[in-house]
């Protein structure tokens, strides 16, 4: 084995940046870091915020049960996002699509079931004010996990960066919605679809865009 | 072949770990072990050996920059081939943008396994492999010529192992039909 076999340009580039590196932590540990950011925020909010007035009227499966389901789906999406960041470790595209669709679908179904089981509250001014309030709260809850996950993803090498971003955004928002579902008193379907599902989609688009921008930046250096 | 593959993988893991610790000799070892298979794999995308050799340098540069993303004791091959695939796809994307058309040439010299070799003579096989759609020839070359398992192909291409298996089966069927068509 001799260094002479390696083309000059490549050898020089490697010798310029030749140092020991510490491998990334295993995927499960990096997922735990993202989940910890989520857990800290959600437990703080649930411990301090008041829960929805009709919580006792809703069946357990629809209140805490659906929140737990949404939380689990959110964590799965965060895990898939982190997996995307390691070359050769990404989940099959079909599984990724299914998980993302399932997360949005479950969020919508929970909204529909809650609208059926709980009386709607009359919203003044077309519900714009409360809607913006929900969007703001959901965004604040989702933001830490979103930022931490994207940080973990972009510090590695996601080969489908937009997909990783979409999963990170979706996971953080769906998990945040799990808590908002227990707090938001408005079960009107238009409110849920526009402001709650809208928040999930917004975070997915934000993640996708961040991933696309990262990919362009990363690979433009190559050409 | 499976035992060789496992031994080769253990050797690659040891080299990769040493390389992460800053051993330049280990990089040379990786280069020696991976140069030929990667040129063959890159050829399935660009169908031109000169371009494949140029892309090999970009690939090793990317492997170097991303070396901390390899986490031992995971297999090295899926990690390497996934990055290689991405470098090739990025090249094709920029080539499409520039509307570049390069002449295609034959597949670099590869030891062909018996199940493929008995289909036709070597020259015909190489020409027909070059005529297959990219995704078909990619799976075929990875599995039948480079000895990568369907599990690993799934990890490289981001598809389920079953999907990789179906693609390889269809590609082989298409290759057989092409050989039959030539013979008729």
Domains identified in chain B, total number: 2
Is pLDDT above 90 for A83?
yes
- DSSP run (H or E) holding B79: helix B76-98
Mean of per-residue pLDDT scores for chain B: 84
Check whether residue B50 and residue B27 sit in a common domain.
Answer: yes
Check whether residue B10 and residue B100 sit in a common domain.
Answer: yes
Rg (CA), chain A: 21
Check whether residue B15 and residue B92 sit in a common domain.
Answer: yes
CB spacing of A21 vs B20 below 8 angstroms: yes
Check whether residue B82 and residue B125 sit in a common domain.
Answer: no
* Residue A198 confidence (pLDDT): 94
Check whether residue B95 and residue B163 sit in a common domain.
Answer: no
Can you give the CATH number for the domain in which B126 is found? 1.10.10.10
Can you give the CATH number for the domain in which B53 is found? 1.10.1740.10
CA–CA dist A205, B180 (Å, integer)? 49
* Residue B110 confidence (pLDDT): 60
Check whether residue B139 and residue B183 sit in a common domain.
Answer: yes
**So what's the ipTM on this one?**
0.84
pLDDT tens readout for residues A51-71 = 888 888 889 999 999 999 999
Question: pTM (2 decimals)?
Answer: 0.87
Find the CB nearest B82 among A22, A87, A91: A87
CB spacing of B155 vs A219 below 8 angstroms: no
Angle, alpha carbons B152-B158-B161 (nearest 5°) = 50
Find the CB nearest B160 among A13, A86, A94: A94
* Residue B94 confidence (pLDDT): 84
CB spacing of A24 vs B69 below 8 angstroms: yes
Check whether residue B11 and residue B91 sit in a common domain.
Answer: yes
Q: Which of residues B60, B87, B107 is at a domain's end?
A: B107
Check whether residue B19 and residue B96 sit in a common domain.
Answer: yes
**Contact of A211 with A146, CB cutoff 8 Å:** no
Range of the domain at B97: 1-107
pLDDT tens readout for residues A145-181 = 999 999 999 999 999 999 999 999 999 999 999 999 9
Mutate to test the interface with B, among A7, A88, A163 (most CBs of B within 10 A): A88
Alpha-carbon distances of A165 from A2, A212, A218, rounded to whole Å:
41, 8, 15
CA–CA dist A186, A177 (Å, integer)? 13
Check whether residue B92 and residue B115 sit in a common domain.
Answer: no
Q: What is the largest CA-CA distance in chain A?
A: 78
Mutate to test the interface with B, among A157, A158, A167, A215 (most CBs of B within 10 A): A157
Domain locations along chain A: 35-222
Check whether residue B101 and residue B67 sit in a common domain.
Answer: yes
Residue of B37, B46, B44 lying closest to B137 (CA atoms): B44
Check whether residue B85 and residue B139 sit in a common domain.
Answer: no
B11 reaches A (C-beta below 8 A): no
Q: Which of residues B91, B107, B123 is at a domain's end?
A: B107
Residue A89, min C-alpha distance to chain B (Å) = 6
Q: Which of residues B56, B72, B107 is at a domain's end?
A: B107
Check whether residue B33 and residue B47 sit in a common domain.
Answer: yes
């Amino acid at each position: 084995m001799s260094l002479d076999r390696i083309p000059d340009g490549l050898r020089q580039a490697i010798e310029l940046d030749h140092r020991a590196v510490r491998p990334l932590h295993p995927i499960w540990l990096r997922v735990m870091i993202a989940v910890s950011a989520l857990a800290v925020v959600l437990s703080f909010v649930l411990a301090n915020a008041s829960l929805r007035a009709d919580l006792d009227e809703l069946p357990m499966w629809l209140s805490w049960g659906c929140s737990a389901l949404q939380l689990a789906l959110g964590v799965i999406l965060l895990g898939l996002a982190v997996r995307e960041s390691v070359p050769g470790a990404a989940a099959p595209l079909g599984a990724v699509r299914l998980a993302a669709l399932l997360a949005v679908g479950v969020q919508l179904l929970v909204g529909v079931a809650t609208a059926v089981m709980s009386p709607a509250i009359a919203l003044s001014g077309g519900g714009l004010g409360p809607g913006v309030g929900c969007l703001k709260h959901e965004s604040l809850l989702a933001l830490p996990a979103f930022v931490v996950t994207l940080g973990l993803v972009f510090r590695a090498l996601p080969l489908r960066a937009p997909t990783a971003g979409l999963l990170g955004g979706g996971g953080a928002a769906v998990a945040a919605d799990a808590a908002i579902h227990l707090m938001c008193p408005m079960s009107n379907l238009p409110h849920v679809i526009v402001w709650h599902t809208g928040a999930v989609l917004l975070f997915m688009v934000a993640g996708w865009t961040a991933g696309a921008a990262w990919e362009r930046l990363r690979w433009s250096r190559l050409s | 072949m499976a035992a060789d593959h496992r031994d080769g993988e253990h050797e690659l893991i040891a080299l990769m770990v040493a390389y992460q610790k800053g051993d330049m000799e280990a990089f040379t070892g990786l280069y020696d072990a991976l140069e030929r298979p990667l040129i063959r794999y890159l050829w399935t995308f660009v169908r031109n050996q000169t371009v494949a050799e140029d892309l090999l340098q970009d690939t090793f540069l990317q492997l170097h920059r991303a070396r901390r993303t390899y986490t031992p004791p995971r297999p090295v091959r899926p990690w390497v081939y996934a990055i290689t695939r991405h470098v090739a796809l990025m090249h094709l994307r920029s080539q499409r943008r520039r509307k570049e058309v390069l002449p295609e040439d034959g597949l670099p010299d590869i030891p062909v396994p018996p199940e493929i070799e008995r289909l036709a003579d070597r020259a015909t096989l190489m020409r027909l492999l070059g005529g297959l759609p990219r995704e078909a020839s990619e799976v075929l070359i990875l599995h039948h010529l480079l000895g990568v398992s369907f599990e690993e192909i799934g990890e490289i291409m981001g598809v389920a192992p079953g999907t990789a298996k179906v693609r390889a089966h269809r590609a082989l069927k298409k290759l057989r039909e092409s050989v039959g068509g030539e013979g008729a």
